[in-house]
Amino acid sequence: MVGVRTGILTEFLQIINEAMDSALEVPGTSSEKYCRINKIGMMMIELKAIGLYPIPNSPSTMRNSVSSYWIDLKNFGKSYTNYSVDRYHGTRRQGRGMRIECNFQNCLDDFGIIRPARAALQRYIHKDIWAKWEEVIEFFSQI
């Protein structure tokens, strides 16, 4: 069972690292830059809250169960679902400036974490068990 836990947690760490790298990419527009700054901050806050920031180097330092990490990742960012910024920066009279429209759906979504983490879990779990979420939680709580 240790091999399954290590495999899943290794994938979780890879997904988190890729999501953070993606968030740190140089944005194209000023509006994208504003969204990315917020996204990076929110990711760091959320990862810290679940014990994954700074991001561990390996699963061997991760003390929680797979189910615990999955539940935390599945709820990742839910406190930001009402996040929305619709501002105009600059001077409208002179026609300079930019409009920033940043909201949960177009800037944050699942932070590039939830869907890939779900896919990783599904590779390890039989489809009949996956269909019954309570059984999955029970299974992983024993790992």
Could you read off the pLDDT of 103-129 as tens digits, one per residue?
666 677 778 898 999 899 889 887 777
Put simply, whether the predicted model's pTM sits higher than 0.85 gets the answer no
Q: Please, are residues 22 and 111 in contact by the beta-carbon 8 Å criterion?
A: no
- State pLDDT tens for residues 10-53: 999 999 999 999 888 877 776 677 778 888 888 999 999 999 99
**Cα gap 61→91, rounded to integer Å:** 51
Average pLDDT, the chain: 80
Whether the pLDDT of residue 87 is over 80: the answer is no
Confidence of residue 91 (pLDDT cuts 50, 70, 90): very low
**Cα gap 102→107, rounded to integer Å:** 6
